């Protein structure tokens, strides 16, 4: 049975300090030798975060190799090295099944050629997704807490300046924010507010004219009135769902 390995570390720091690529490679080689798999190649993504799957050249090559009908198995160090996104993982399993390719992992002992192995795979995909969402939720709450306490998070918003890791109000800019919100409360739309600011010679922090996107950020509780627009990504997801049995 011919097999191909796939290894990934997500950041430069992990390349140096985490589960190194070489460690993953060695474990995969040992696994294949022990289970009588003919390891023909190991594909690598080094120092690349999960991100969009298309930005991972090794992952793209892995998919292309599966299509060649030249391998029978894919071996990973662990399922997390592939992704923590459940949809990506489950989609890959369906993709492997289409080409009659079995998925193995060194850690967790996943073997999708068996019913028990497939169940273990599915549970790990679910747990990985749950962990991903927990991290996202904790990060969001931490950032909200920092903002609430006046600590700098990301770009410094108009109306403030940075002093250490705190945000301090700039009176002149705060007066512009107040004026914008007063005009909005009087029923003026973004275009008319933007036009008025520019006509009165009131500039942005960089000395440029205002645009509607910049003005919208100054309005407390601005309500988006535009309809949600369709995107290619959304259409792809819809087609994927409709194609499932």
Q: How far apart are CA 75 and CA 72, in angstroms?
A: 10
pLDDT 10s digits, 82-122: 776 777 777 888 788 888 899 888 887 777 777 777 777 77
pLDDT 10s digits, 228-245: 455 565 566 566 656 654
Contact 206, 173 (CB under 8 A): no
Task: Lowest mean pLDDT of 1-5, 130-134, 161-165, name the range.
Answer: 130-134
pLDDT 10s digits, 178-217: 999 999 989 899 899 999 999 999 999 888 999 988 898 8
pLDDT 10s digits, 167-181: 778 899 889 999 999
How many angstroms separate the Cα of 9 from the Cα of each of 31, 149, 163, 167, 188? 19, 35, 36, 36, 51
Q: How far apart are CA 214 and CA 194, in angstroms?
A: 9
Decide: pTM greater than 0.75: no
Q: Which domains does the chain have, with CATH numbers?
A: 2-110 (3.40.50.1390), 160-218 (no CATH)
Residue 140 pLDDT grade (very low, low, confident, very high; cuts 50, 70, 90): low
Long-range Cβ contact pairs of 144-151 (< 8 A, separation 24 or more): none
How many angstroms separate the Cα of 107 from the Cα of each of 13, 34, 61, 95, 123? 22, 14, 23, 22, 14
């Amino acid at each position: 049975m011919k097999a191909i390995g796939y290894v990934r570390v997500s950041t430069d720091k992990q390349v140096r300090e985490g589960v190194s690529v070489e460690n993953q490679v060695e474990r995969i080689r040992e696994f294949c030798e022990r289970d009588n798999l003919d390891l023909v190649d190991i594909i690598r993504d080094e120092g690349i975060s999960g991100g969009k799957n298309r930005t991972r050249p090794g992952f793209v090559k892995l998919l292309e190799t599966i299509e060649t009908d030249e391998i029978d198995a894919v071996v990973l160090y662990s399922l997390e090295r592939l992704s923590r996104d459940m949809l990506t993982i489950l989609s890959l399993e369906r993709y492997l099944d289409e080409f009659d390719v079995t998925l193995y992992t060194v850690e967790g002992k996943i073997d999708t050629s068996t019913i028990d192995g497939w169940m273990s795979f599915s549970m790990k995909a679910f747990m990985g997704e749950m962990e991903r969402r927990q991290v996202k939720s904790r990060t969001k709450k931490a950032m909200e807490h920092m903002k609430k306490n006046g600590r700098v998070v990301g770009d410094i918003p108009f109306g403030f300046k940075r002093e250490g890791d705190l945000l301090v109000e700039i009176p002149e800019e705060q007066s512009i924010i107040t004026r914008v919100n007063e005009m909005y409360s009087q029923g003026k739309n973004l275009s008319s507010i933007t036009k008025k600011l520019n006509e009165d010679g009131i500039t942005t922090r960089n000395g440029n004219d205002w645009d509607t996107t910049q003005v919208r950020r100054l309005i407390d509780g601005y309500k988006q009135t535009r309809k949600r627009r369709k995107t290619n990504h959304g259409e792809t997801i819809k087609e994927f769902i409709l194609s499932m049995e």
